[in-house]
Structure 1
Amino acid sequence: MKSNESVERFYQLQRLPEANLAGQQVAVKSGHFNVYDVEQLCTTDLAYNRRDFYKISLLTGVYQFNYADRGVRIDQPALIFSNPLVPYSCEVVSEAQTGYLCLFTEDFLVINDRSASLQDSPLFKIGNDPIFFPDETQLETLRQFFRQMLAERDSTYPYKQDLLRNYVNLVIHEALKMQPQTPYYPHQNAASRIVALFTELLERQFPIDSPNRVLKLRTARDFAVCLSVHVNHLNRAVRELTGKTTTVHIAERMISEAKALLQHTDWSVSEIAFSLGFEYPTYFNNFFKKHTGLPPRALRAKKAI
């Protein structure tokens, strides 16, 4: 399915009562958390929007992690921190995998100091090393934290969210005691990987399902930072492999999203402008008209006829 078709399909589905995301949004805004045993994931429904969720994994097995222009083979127990703004792929190499993982939104962990951001954490900060190799003592400590999370997740304790938050913080502090020594190696096909991950990162931001969700990545430099590459390197790779500039790809995807929002939601033009990262509706109007030849209201009025 083409991206613009999937966007339209998404907004059409929102009109169905059973597909309404209101409940999901409340959960996300109040802070969502879940934890899993890796061996049980094959029977677990992971229907989560990956744009929202940070992840901490404690894995045993053989895995291949690939980032934009580098990769790492993991063949010993590892503690891995994943930022939703940093795309990567994980290939499972061994048949046997054990361990745990937890998913959570930023609101779940950041509740006291709203000015703080997980993006600034040394474990989740873009460009930092997210993989650690615990020793036997550390590994058993971490496993115990995850076991406690699993037990509390299914409990009826009224303050279990606070307790779960404390366990996540304990895992984070245990990691801060370690020194990352990840043996990364450069990819020979770095350019094609960078372009593929740029495309994935661009698509990951859509569809926009709430007027309160603001597009975070809007420029080539924004994407380059997330991919840990120089913006000139990103621009050169995208231009060579696709024939279009990074800026053109971003603009085309934003226009596709803007059209879908205008045609399939009742959001005001100001709300759409804000969700797409425009400070003022006038800037959005000029951007939209430049790329479509029509002002946003004209497209909406045309659809209503």
Structure 2
Amino acid sequence: MEATSNKQNIISLIQLRPNDEEIIVDGSSDLFTIIRTLAPLQLVVGSTYYDIPSNKLLFIGPGIRIKLVKPTAEAGYRITFPDSFFDRSNKDAEMLYSRLFFDYEAEIQIVDAVRPPEEVRHVLHFRAPMFAEKSVPLYHAALKNHIESLLLEGLLGLPDVVDEVQGAMLSDRNLVNSFIVMLHRNYKQESTVNFYADALHVTARKLSKACQEVFDRTAKQIILETVARRAINYIENSTLSISQIAFEMGFSDESNFRRFIKKHTGKTALNFRTN
């Protein structure tokens, strides 16, 4: 079972069944993956092999390659989506850019699933097809609601952090992940590389070098792209006026906001609203 957004071409809900071919998530920089196991499952995340028991929830963040070893039973399902599909409010951002997908020490979070397998099968075999047959927008609304429930389930099962890890001890990937988490919490108030570098106890040069290694973009480019992407989300998915969105995004006035959108997207703010 798979549904795909015409706009993104990467929003999907896929059931993992016997004799499936290997499913690969190629490590797109804005791709999030949630896997719910109904039977033991083997997969490779990055370069690490995992043997996952049944009734687990897996959360795998952007920029990480996932390779599924051919399942031998009804293994479960995976949901893959870009941040622009789910991230439409500050509450969404807080859940999405959390330790579920951006951990200091792990590429993958594995937590116990709360919902019984029977309820999961009902969603897969009955609810999802019903929404999909009705309309694509209704299906996407239902899928977004389901993603939110999985994120809440994951946050409930996430172990508490005991010791805080300092930036100088992090690998490039974990340093960048920490930067991205911090960025999505502070982008409205802080847009300088120095702010995030200081908070992570590294130099601005080291932070930018790490970003270049992981995402082939500088820290400043990631900041600007993040602000632009969040601004476009507001324009496309809210009823706020452009002036209100500019204020919400932390811009000093509407004209500065409009110039920013034009410079970084090549389109006007109203282009995104009308499209």
Flag the structure with more relative contact order, 1 or 2, with Cα contacts below 8 A and sequence separation at least 6.
1
Larger Rg: 1
TM-score with structure 2 setting the length: 0.46
TM-score with structure 1 setting the length: 0.43
